[in-house]
Amino acid sequence: MYKALYRRSRPNRFSEIVGQEHISLTLKNEVINGTFSHAYIFTGSRGIGKTTTAKILAKALNCAALQNGEPCCECNICKGIDAGNIPDVQEIDAASNTGVDNIRAIKEDAQFAPTVGKYRVYIIDEAHMLSIGAFNALLKIMEEPPNNVVFILATTQINKIPATILSRCQRFDFLRPSVLTIEQLLLKVASKEDIAINSDAVRLIAVLSDGGMRDALSLLDVCSNVSNGKVIDESLVESIAAIPLDKECLNLLEAAINSDYELCIKIINECYVKAVDISSLCESLLRHCRNILLLKTCKKEINLLEISQKSLKKTQEIAFKISLNQIMLILEEIKLAYEKLNKSSMPKIELELCLLNLCKKLHVLPVNECNSNQASEDESFRIKNWQQVIECLTETNSILAGALNDSSAYIKNDTVLIDSENSIFLELIRNDENAKKDLKVAMVKILGKRYRIGPYKK
Ligand SMILES: [Zn+2]
């Protein structure tokens, strides 16, 4: 029988758990020192190792040949727990066993000593799905826990767990692994399993899995099954995940920025014809918007970007071209469309409407506003009393002052950047030292500070 890749590469020991070292080390020490709790709650998003960790803990608590807090994975008990046929360790899916009767059955079981191991371990998955009656019954057991019983509750929604239960559990918050952590895991698994894959494809799978290790490994599994031994590349991942290409998303965003509605419709239709799900097109667009936003706001945090090396340049170009307000507007509109289209029977029309709206809004956004936004992002600001500077300059250099009529200026760091197309101004500012001096003196008088000067380049 085919065993899925994520099952084959599931960690067997604490030391094999990736990205949750703060939890696995603590648990291992608790096992070594015998200071473990009778009730744990593991919380965090789906597919990041909560149940896997619970099983390792169950093995460590029962293993016949514990090795420095780690289960040996060789003894009959370890093997039995892995195979799921040791009655002392039970995994209960609360999503399908929500009732009070299920918990009562546990209560009865728990009265008896374990059959083969040292502890009865109850792993309750999706614990937030338990009914109120079931929680109350569970609380009764937790209030006076039998000595050899350990509960491990796993949940994706900790806010739905009653406070009375929470207060009796040792809580561990599982972290969502970073794209980089998932990339490293994928590379490790690929090398172990002899799967040929290039780095762009690894990156894309890591990005698409949105922090889920299981999802990432499942996608790698499918890719390796259809690749026929060829190197898995980005386009194979894209076709399997039926997601739009980075190129298409970036072109779509660019078309919107250029208010080219016809091109937007054309690109959406191309994706649609390729059976790309409109909802995942929206998700990809949001991801690209976020990348652009990051490029505009946190210039040093380049490793937070969720993008392949190949698409970085184009993303940078777009980020350079648009203002912060524009990208925030786009992000907001696509987010709204995404929420709407998931409820709509005609998602494609929702997205087309969204793009039409965007094209209209971006088109009427005044150029000046864009420029001033651009200026403010560059930590520069427009000089409000520039007109006064020009008036002051009239007294000492009327030619230059005249050339500066209708100009505007910005301050960036210690430089005043003057926005003017006037050829006399450009000539004077390049070649006439006296003109420069006169302007600087006028600036000191009005602005109260000595600045350098330079032409403002759009
Ligand atoms: Zn063992």
Please check whether residues 15 and 146 belong to one and the same domain.
yes
**If you measure from the C-alpha of residue 45 to the centroid of ligand 1, how many angstroms do you get, rounded to a whole number?**
29
- Domain CATH code at residue 235: 1.10.8.60
* Residue-level pLDDT at 1: 63
Mean of the pLDDT values across residues 349-375? 68
* Residue-level pLDDT at 377: 40
Rounded CA-CA distance 88/101 in Å is 19
Per the domain annotation, does 80 fall within a domain?
Answer: yes
Please check whether residues 93 and 114 belong to one and the same domain.
yes
Please check whether residues 218 and 253 belong to one and the same domain.
no
Rounded CA-CA distance 172/22 in Å is 9
- Beta-strand relationship, 89-93 and 380-382: unpaired
**If you measure from the C-alpha of residue 433 to the centroid of ligand 1, how many angstroms do you get, rounded to a whole number?**
85
Mean of the pLDDT values across residues 382-400? 84
Mean of the pLDDT values across residues 447-452? 79
Q: Looking at 193, 215, 241, which one is the last position of a domain?
A: 241
**If you measure from the C-alpha of residue 73 to the centroid of ligand 1, how many angstroms do you get, rounded to a whole number?**
5
Total domains in the fold of the chain = 4
Q: Looking at 332, 366, 400, which one is the last position of a domain?
A: 366
**If you measure from the C-alpha of residue 345 to the centroid of ligand 1, how many angstroms do you get, rounded to a whole number?**
53
- Domain CATH code at residue 335: 1.20.272.10
* Residue-level pLDDT at 261: 92
Q: How many CA atoms lie within 13 A of 453 on its CB side?
A: 22
**If you measure from the C-alpha of residue 18 to the centroid of ligand 1, how many angstroms do you get, rounded to a whole number?**
21
Please check whether residues 88 and 226 belong to one and the same domain.
no
Per the domain annotation, does 281 fall within a domain?
Answer: yes
For residue 263, the enclosing domain spans 246-366
**If you measure from the C-alpha of residue 5 to the centroid of ligand 1, how many angstroms do you get, rounded to a whole number?**
23
Q: Looking at 210, 241, 272, which one is the last position of a domain?
A: 241
Confirm if 59 and 82 have CB atoms less than 8 A apart.
Answer: yes
Please check whether residues 290 and 436 belong to one and the same domain.
no
Please check whether residues 151 and 9 belong to one and the same domain.
yes
**If you measure from the C-alpha of residue 121 to the centroid of ligand 1, how many angstroms do you get, rounded to a whole number?**
15
* Residue-level pLDDT at 371: 39
Instruction: Return the structure tokens found at 64.
Output: 């016949």
Please check whether residues 342 and 390 belong to one and the same domain.
no
Rounded CA-CA distance 197/7 in Å is 20
Mean pLDDT of the chain: 87
**If you measure from the C-alpha of residue 40 to the centroid of ligand 1, how many angstroms do you get, rounded to a whole number?**
21
**If you measure from the C-alpha of residue 23 to the centroid of ligand 1, how many angstroms do you get, rounded to a whole number?**
21
Per the domain annotation, does 373 fall within a domain?
Answer: no
Please check whether residues 234 and 320 belong to one and the same domain.
no
Please check whether residues 158 and 9 belong to one and the same domain.
yes
Per the domain annotation, does 119 fall within a domain?
Answer: yes
Rounded CA-CA distance 150/116 in Å is 15
**If you measure from the C-alpha of residue 64 to the centroid of ligand 1, how many angstroms do you get, rounded to a whole number?**
5
Per the domain annotation, does 361 fall within a domain?
Answer: yes
Q: What are the pLDDT digits (tens) for 104-159?
A: 888 888 888 999 989 999 999 999 999 999 999 999 999 988 889 999 999 999 99
Q: Angle 210-215-221 (CA atoms, 0-180°, nearest 5)? A: 135
Rounded CA-CA distance 173/190 in Å is 28
* Residue-level pLDDT at 242: 67
Confirm if 23 and 153 have CB atoms less than 8 A apart.
Answer: no
**If you measure from the C-alpha of residue 108 to the centroid of ligand 1, how many angstroms do you get, rounded to a whole number?**
27
